[in-house]
């Protein structure tokens, strides 16, 4: 089975721009979670989607949003980028909510 | 609330043992353990469910103390391949809003040297 894929792998944006990241889960997995990883902070939960509905949301501003499509693929969007948004964004898929998660390689976002 | 992991970092020689702890202030339903090698994605190791069970994976095992809301990851006879950052993720409630959310600790960096 193919693993979780994320595109693009690297992205450089300037402050004020917006960005869309994409995640394709493992075939058959219906739950997709997004995390922000920065040095020293570990993995910060952004949100989780299951059956095209956002089920959980972390403590991030409204500039961070996402969606899930009928084929379970997910996108996250960050509007009005700030320097502090520079991070590795990881998505993880699981067969069902609460089950073990399989992570993608991440998208490295740099905001200048 | 983020679980607290200890130690923050540890250096081992091949063959030595290590214990990584993960503590939460909330009542836990489950604890997940992941390992992330430098430049790679986190990889799932094991899940422990409420009930205090202990699970094993190769020479890596873990326990879950429900009374203390603490989980411990045991690495025995460490190998060079064990090097990486270990994260625990906790799930605090069984049902209701946010119940499936995993909250991760800041990680424990494990370095195994020859």
The pLDDT-based confidence of B55 (bands split at 50, 70, 90) is low
CA atoms B45, A47, A29, B95: torsion sign: positive
| Chain segment A70-102, per-residue pLDDT in tens | 999 999 999 999 999 999 999 999 998 888 999
Give Cα separations from A22 to A27, A33, A59, A87, B73 (angstroms): 15, 12, 21, 15, 33
Whether residue A32 contacts residue B77, with contact meaning beta carbons closer than 8 Å, is answered with no
The pLDDT-based confidence of A8 (bands split at 50, 70, 90) is very high
Residue A59, pLDDT > 60, answer yes
Residue B50, pLDDT > 90, answer no
- Tell me the mean pLDDT in the region A51-59: 90
Residue A69, pLDDT > 90, answer yes
Report pLDDT for A99: 86
Report the residue from B40, B47, B104 with minimal CB separation from A43. Answer: B104
CA distance A73 to A49: 10
Report pLDDT for B100: 78
For residue B68, the 8-state DSSP code is T
Nearest to B81, CA basis, from B33, B42, B40, B37: B37
Q: Considering chain A, what is the average pLDDT of its residues?
A: 94
* Percentage with pLDDT > 90 across chain A: 85
What count of CB pairs under 8 Å joins A to B? 55
- Tell me the mean pLDDT in the region B24-39: 91
CA distance A84 to A111: 8
Q: How far is CA B65 from the centre of its chain?
A: 13
Whether residue B84 contacts residue B12, with contact meaning beta carbons closer than 8 Å, is answered with no
* Percentage with pLDDT > 90 across chain B: 65
CA distance B106 to B8: 8
Nearest to B48, CA basis, from B77, B88, B105: B88
The pLDDT-based confidence of B15 (bands split at 50, 70, 90) is very high
* A104 touching chain B per CB within 8 A: yes
Residue A46, pLDDT > 90, answer yes
* B68 touching chain A per CB within 8 A: no
Nearest to B79, CA basis, from B22, B7, B18: B18
CA atoms B22, A47, A79, A103: torsion sign: positive
Nearest to A103, CA basis, from B111, B34, B58, B72: B34
Which positions in chain A touch B6 (Cβ < 8 Å)? none
Report pLDDT for B93: 66
């Amino acid at each position: 089975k193919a693993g979780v894929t994320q595109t693009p792998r690297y992205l450089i944006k300037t402050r004020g721009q917006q960005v869309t990241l994409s995640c394709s889960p493992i075939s058959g997995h219906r739950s997709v979670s997004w995390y922000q990883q920065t040095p020293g902070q570990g993995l910060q939960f952004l949100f989780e989607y299951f059956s095209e509905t956002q089920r959980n949301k972390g403590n991030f501003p409204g500039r961070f949003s996402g969606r899930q499509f009928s084929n379970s693929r997910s996108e996250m969007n960050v509007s009005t980028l700030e320097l502090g948004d520079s991070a590795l964004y990881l998505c993880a898929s699981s067969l069902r909510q609460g089950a073990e998660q399989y992570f993608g390689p991440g998208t490295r976002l740099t905001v200048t | 609330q983020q679980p607290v992991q200890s130690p923050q970092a540890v250096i081992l020689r091949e063959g030595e043992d290590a214990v990584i702890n993960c503590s939460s202030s909330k009542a836990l339903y489950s604890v997940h353990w992941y390992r992330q090698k430098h430049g790679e994605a986190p990889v799932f190791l094991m899940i422990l469910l409420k009930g205090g069970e202990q699970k094993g994976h190769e020479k890596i095992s873990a326990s879950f103390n429900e009374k203390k809301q603490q989980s411990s990851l045991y690495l025995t006879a460490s190998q060079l391949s064990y090097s990486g950052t270990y994260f625990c993720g906790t799930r605090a409630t069984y049902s209701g809003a946010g119940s499936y959310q995993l909250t991760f600790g800041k990680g424990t960096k494990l370095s195994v040297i020859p």
